[in-house]
Amino acid sequence: MPNEINPAEPVGPQARLEAELFRLESHRREIWILIAFLIGVLVLGGLSLLFPQSFWHLNVLEIKISPQLFFLLMMGLVIVVFIMLKREVTIQKLRLQNLRQTLAAQSESSASMLDPLTGVFNRKVLRELLQSEIARAERSDRPLGLIMCDLNNFKQLNDRYGHLMGDYVLAQFAGALKTCVRGSDYIVRYGGDEFLLILPETDEKGAEIVRNRITTKVEEWDRHHRVGDFPITVSVGGYHHVVGQSAEQDVAEADARMYAEKQRQHAQGGPTNGTAPAG
């Protein structure tokens, strides 16, 4: 069951940002109150030096200021502090407005890059992401791994139990994939029930670890959450970028290895953990 949201707490990054800025603004007000107090002390100290006969008598502090002068001094101090606080509040409002606009723009940009069902990257950004990682891998002479994943028996499950159940399984599968990779890796929904993992700085040994994690996670999920009588397994194909190849060639190679693994599983009558060797 999804975690329940406490309505008393701010929800989402924008709400948390506003709460943080509110706390920051309250803290700054406290600082300005302290500054106002210090200004008052300095003003009185300065007056005592300029007009010692009005403040000191036989080394004893005696403040002798007419009520009118004292009132004017206090009013001046209040006005100065009020102007400074008003200026600070105006600056904070402008900062908050700019941050809201920036956050909204970032949210729109992120939303256009993500698949709404699974929360992973969509295919529209695949070429840009992969080309960027290819250039980085070739520049630094580091390995770049790709893994293509495809759910077995998904079409039969989708046809029998409907798209809502199919969407649920896809979302669960994407969640399982997220637990198998690092924060620096990318998961892209390539199409339907196919997902492509881009693994920067990952050699064949590292990619094999990820592949084993994926098959284990899917087996565990199917064991505890099987839908009807359709066992959900996964076919996994791994490939490593070769210098000079394009993003399209890399994806095609990973897809071909995934398809070969699917055919091998079908011929053997069940899934295995191995995949075709990476190129």
Reported confidence tier of residue 111, pLDDT bands at 50, 70, 90: low
Q: What is the pLDDT of residue 114?
A: 87
Higher pLDDT, 140 or 42: 140
Reported confidence tier of residue 279, pLDDT bands at 50, 70, 90: very low
Q: What is the pLDDT of residue 23?
A: 60
Q: What is the pLDDT of residue 69?
A: 67
| pTM: predicted TM-score of the whole model, two decimal places | 0.60
Q: What is the pLDDT of residue 205?
A: 94
Percent of the chain with pLDDT over 90: 41
Please tell me the distance from the alpha carbon of residue 78 to that of residue 84, in angstroms, as a whole number.
10
Q: Which residues, including other chains, have CB under 8 Å from residue 30's CB and lie 6 or more apart?
A: none
Reported confidence tier of residue 258, pLDDT bands at 50, 70, 90: very high
- Encode pLDDT of 182-196 as tens digits: 888 999 999 889 999
Distance of CA 253 to the CA centre of its chain: 31
- Encode pLDDT of 157-206 as tens digits: 888 999 899 999 999 999 999 999 988 899 999 988 999 999 999 999 99
Higher pLDDT, 98 or 214: 214
Under 8 Å between Cβ of 152 and 265: yes
Under 8 Å between Cβ of 130 and 247: yes
Give alpha helix (H) positions in the chain.
Answer: 12-50, 52-55, 67-113, 126-140, 154-161, 163-178, 204-225, 247-268
The CATH topology of domain 123-268 is Alpha-Beta Plaits (3.30.70)
Q: Which residues, including other chains, have CB under 8 Å from residue 262's CB and lie 6 or more apart?
A: 150, 152, 235
Reported confidence tier of residue 266, pLDDT bands at 50, 70, 90: confident
What is the signed CA dihedral for 165, 170, 175, 181, rounded to 10 degrees?
160
Q: What value does the mean pLDDT of the chain take?
A: 77
Under 8 Å between Cβ of 130 and 250: yes
Q: Domain residues of the chain, as ranges? A: 12-113, 123-268
